[in-house]
Amino acid sequence: MSNTTTTTTKSILDELKPTQEEILKYRRSQIESADRSFLNDRLNVQLPEGLYGEWIGRNDFSQYQAKAKGFVDGSEFLGEFNKLYETADGRSAVGDVTFMVIPKWKYDEQQRVIEAMATRRSGINTQESNEATAYLEAAESIGLGVDRGQTNETRVIDGTELSTILKAGK
């Protein structure tokens, strides 16, 4: 019995002089268990230059949207640590999302269109906005109809005026 006590005491005494590596390893384990920061490590994927990746929902709608934009399965870029569990087929999985990639240039073009559309919808006069004008020109260049109205202001009409307009249209 005293031998076991001596061994336990000796191992505790050994822990009183930890190496710097042991301290860092212990600190990391404490942080991971305290605030789940290990999720950042699990979700961060190292990609080759020229690729952009996202975790995208596994539901049919999210997958359809992603594929329509040009995303493809990116599981080949996942490391052993990029998973919280494995699916039945042995692939890495993180909840209800899967990792997909797209060429960076396609992603950048998508962002330009999104920014231009947001500018257009924001109420900024399209003649004063270079981004919105660029969007309109791009839309026209591919054959889409574009409304180049002079203003984005909305006019409110009353019921009498609406009736008059509707009767005149018949």
Q: Per residue of the chain (170 residues), what is the pLDDT tens digit?
A: 455 555 566 666 667 778 888 888 888 777 666 555 566 667 788 889 999 999 898 889 999 999 999 999 988 888 766 666 666 666 656 778 888 999 999 999 998 888 877 776 766 554 555 666 677 777 777 766 666 655 555 566 677 777 777 777 65
**Cα 162 to Cα 159: distance, rounded to the nearest angstrom:** 5
pTM of the model: 0.50
Residues 6+ apart with CB under 8 A from 122: none
* Strand ranges of the sheet holding 97-103, from the earlier edge strand across to the other edge: 51-57, 97-103, 72-73
Angle in degrees, CA 16, 18, 19, rounded to 5: 160
